[in-house]
Chain A
Amino acid sequence: MSKLRQIVTNQRLVGFLFLLLSGLYVHFTEQIYLDFWSEAEVFNARTMPYLFGYGAMICASLLIVVPSRPFDWTALLQLKYLPALCLAVLLLFYALAIDYLGFVVTSTTFLGLGFIALGQRQKLKAFGVALTLSLVFYFGLSALDIYLSPGEWWFDD
């Protein structure tokens, strides 16, 4: 087990992932469209992506090859994943709902549920604070002449 810990380090894992990603990046660089006269030029749209891609591949390979310190993987098992996951889902909801439900409703829902997910027991208070914050931003931004959609769901032409 300790032998495995010495081989699979954080440095090697990320190095391996980046080697794969930069390999894919170089592959897609080859597919960048070039006009026939651009292909012969010293510098074209593919030049820098090639330099960056190959540079990243060399760097990732070095990370895998050079000796690295063992990493304490057990620390990752002690993290609080559930509330973080809840917030990630709420953020996705925010992204998907804002155009349909509008700024105020989406923001209030996100903030209210977010407060509750992180331990606020009084639901009414959570939504009260959330609504106040959303309205402050809504009216503040409106005062700066920044348009925020009230939501297609409520105001569909």
Chain B
Amino acid sequence: MIDGLLIGLSTVLTLNNLALVLLGCLVGTIIGMLPGLGPISAIALMIPITYGFDPASGMILLAGVYYGAIFGGSTSSILINAPGVAGTVATSFDGYPLARQGQAGKALAVAAYASFAGGTFAAIILLIAAPYLAQLSLAFQSADYFIMMLLGLSLVAAFSNQGEYLKAILMTFAGLMIGTVGTDLSAGVQRFTFGRMDLIDGVSFLTLAMATFALAEAFLMVLKPSEGQQERSPKYRDLSLSRSEVKQIVPTIGRSSTLGFLVGTLPGAGATIASFLAYGMERNLVGNKPVPFGKGNLAGLAAPEAANNAACTGSFVPLLTLGIPGSGTTAVLLGALIAYGVQPGPRLFLDSPDVFWAVIVSMYVGNVFLLILNLPLIPQLAKLLTVPRHYLIPSIMFFSVMGVYLVSFNSFDIVMMIVIAGFAVGLRLLAFPMAPLLLGFILGGMLEDNLRRALALSDGSWSFLWQRELTSVLFALLCISLAVPLMRGFFGWMQQRKAVAAEK
């Protein structure tokens, strides 16, 4: 391993390759900030530029773009509540309220520190244990994925206030139902398209996320001008964290990085589930101290950020060691590697050790560069929120609409976005949460695919839930995760009844 590390360091730490990491991070951050252009688009856009490079340099540049794009996505989530990619949705839950409270600089700084820590932790684990983790990730089957998706859905409790669990569940069902619109690829059948060509591909994640978050938020800022006003805190550019704040986020980052990395190594799971799981886990562990979750809790911001960056690194495990792309982004990277004439798989670190180790080392170097690059930029980015609201609101709307249009070039998507935003504004005014809707939408498709496969493998029997040890353990975790909020609600209700009886 030491030899490999030295090969990686000698490849990456040349002036040329360091410049490429820096360029990758910069370009990735800028592209990632635009809704609709997430890491996949950013890498795809950069691949043609890398054709003239040697494979190691090409991969170093693309790894920089990947991390930059993830951080760029978090920036737009925090500043204008516009999560351009699914992996940064959970970041907006506490990041955006913090920015609204005049602490945009602090929110962006926590995101940067958490991303850095998550990425660094994951790069070190990848360095030590990549081949072993690859074997572990292969042990996961459809049944396990199905339970993991259910575990993700059970986290709706994390997005609801006390006594509002039912509202969150209803919104999750709404998301699951929206997710079924379009063509069922396994059966080749159209569902709920009403004969419209525009609906054959279903509702895209971006359309739904922009409509329910960014566009709905912009409309609410217009409808309630007093609440739409950002707090004019003189500290909006301040990046410093107090000792107690550091103490609060350090354990969160440790737990979320571990969880994120492990989830990231599973093919198909990726940064989105990792960020939601980490957010839910922290809400259950930390509770609402010192600020409630969803109202600007620093742990609520650090958890998804650390987890999604760690998961991004984790997704390289199956790619580099087995040649299996664990996510859409690593699938594009696999294509790039093959185009360079490198075949990823178990023999990669024997046949092309420079590429294998250079990618791993460049991940760490990329994280360092991202931190160095972004910390000075944060005060400038935070300034965005001081733009007068008559300029800011239409610009947010333009930004959201343009993001959706850039993906499909179909104006029907914009009309659909406006209609969904109308519903979302109505529901938010009636105090219904939107996050569970998006969670249901994201996980619905994967839930269906994995259940279909699991049932096919077990000849239509539901015994797959308890036949294997791994599935049984996950199933037990699911039961606990479902029971805890119910028990908590029941005991809260009992206490309330006792208090009322005592008053009488």
Contacts and interface: CB of A to CB of B under 8 A. Distances in A.
B224 interface: yes
Contacts of A114: 393-394, 397-398
B164 to A, nearest CB: 9
Given A42-B455, A48-B448, A71 B31 contact: no
Interface residues of A, number: 64
Interface in A75-90: 76, 79-81, 83-84, 87-88, 90
A62 interface: yes
B173 A22 contact: yes
Contact of A18 (B170, B189, B192): B170
A34 B174 contact: no
Contacts of B418: 88, 91-92, 95
Contacts of B448: 48
Interface residues of B, number: 56
A133 to B, nearest CB: 7
Interface in A88-136: 88, 90-92, 94-96, 98-99, 107, 110-111, 114-115, 117-120, 129, 133
Contacts of A141: 406
Given A11-B167, A18-B170, A42-B460, A107 B431 contact: no
A81 B166 CA distance: 30
Interface string B376-408: 000000000000011101110110011001100
A14 B430 contact: yes
Query: What is the interface of chain A mostly: helix, strand, loop, or mixed?
Result: helix
B176 interface: yes
A83 B222 contact: yes
Q: 8 tightest A-B contacts by CB?
A: A114-B394, A42-B460, A95-B414, A118-B390, A56-B173, A10-B430, A45-B187, A79-B223
Interface of B: 31, 45, 166-167, 169-170, 173-174, 176-177, 180, 184, 186-187, 189-192, 218-219, 222-225, 389-391, 393-395, 397-398, 401-402, 405-406, 409, 411-412, 414-415, 418, 422, 427, 429-432, 444, 447-448, 451-452, 455-456, 460
